[in-house]
């Protein structure tokens, strides 16, 4: 069901040992909130991990995670894209690759690095020179027609997260239809609905990551 770690990409990064997972999606969809929800679950499962965040001209998301008290601040690195957020995760991911390499050098035995993209649009995708596997986050407040628009991010990601499902009745969204449309356009690729405030779906996301890139079932 889940795509296995792409060994050739790992070797191309000079034998980096930590699995690298991207988290992308539109502005406000809940990418940083997803990481905040994943952190305690990863810790409970004794997964050694770190985070790289991307913003245009600030370190806002990295500082949010560092101040959260959820993770050692030294395990959070920040990349400032300086331009279109596509560039540093797709066209030229050099800055992110270097940030990941630096974290691995600082924390021997690191198993997993999460790379959060800057807020983008439905066309956002990750280079496989940077990540082994990637997640795309959308939210119901953006409209239940998002899956039918078939954006590259939604179609190509390894896992689609449909976030803020609790808001569906408040924003006039037919959640069942939205999820059905997402599953239809993605074929066999997984879709997980989440409510990050209550924790709904978070364990399933960690299960997916564990199975796909850490080979823990």
Write out the chain's pLDDT in tens, 217 residues: 444 444 434 444 445 589 999 999 999 999 999 999 999 999 999 999 999 999 887 788 999 999 999 999 999 999 988 777 888 999 999 999 999 999 999 999 999 999 999 887 898 999 999 999 999 999 999 999 999 999 999 999 999 999 999 999 999 999 999 999 999 999 999 999 999 999 999 999 999 999 999 998 7
pLDDT of residue 15: 53
pLDDT of residue 203: 98
Q: How far apart are CA 43 and CA 51, in angstroms?
A: 13
The candidate with the shortest Cα–Cα distance to 136, out of 22, 20, 2, is 22
76 vs 13, 15, 48, 82, 160, CA distance in Å?
20, 22, 13, 19, 24
Q: How far apart are CA 153 and CA 176, in angstroms?
A: 21
pLDDT of residue 7: 40
The candidate with the shortest Cα–Cα distance to 23, out of 185, 216, 215, 206, is 206
CA angle 68, 70, 76 (to 5 degrees): 80
Q: How far apart are CA 7 and CA 3, in angstroms?
A: 12
What pTM was computed for the model?
Answer: 0.91
pLDDT of residue 9: 46
């Amino acid at each position: 069901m889940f795509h296995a770690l792409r060994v050739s990409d790992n070797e191309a990064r000079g034998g980096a040992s930590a699995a690298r997972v991207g988290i992308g999606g539109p502005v406000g969809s809940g990418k940083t909130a997803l990481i905040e929800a994943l952190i305690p679950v990863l810790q409970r499962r004794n997964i050694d991990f770190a985070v790289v965040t991307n913003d245009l001209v600030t370190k806002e998301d990295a500082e949010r995670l560092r101040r959260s008290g959820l993770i050692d601040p030294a395990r959070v690195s920040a990349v400032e894209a300086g331009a279109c957020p596509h560039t540093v995760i797709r066209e030229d991911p050099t800055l992110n690759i270097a940030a990941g390499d630096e974290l691995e050098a600082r924390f021997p035995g690191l198993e997993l690095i999460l790379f959060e993209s800057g807020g983008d649009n439905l066309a956002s995708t990750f280079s496989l020179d940077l990540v082994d596997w990637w997640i795309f986050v959308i939210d119901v407040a953006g409209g239940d027609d998002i899956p039918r628009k078939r954006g590259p991010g939604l179609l190509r990601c390894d896992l689609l997260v449909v976030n803020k499902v609790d808001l569906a009745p408040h924003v006039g969204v037919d959640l069942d239809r939205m999820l059905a449309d997402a599953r239809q356009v993605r074929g066999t690729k997984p879709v997980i609905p989440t409510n990050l405030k209550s924790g709904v779906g978070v364990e399933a996301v960690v299960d997916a990551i564990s199975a796909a890139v850490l080979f823990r079932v």
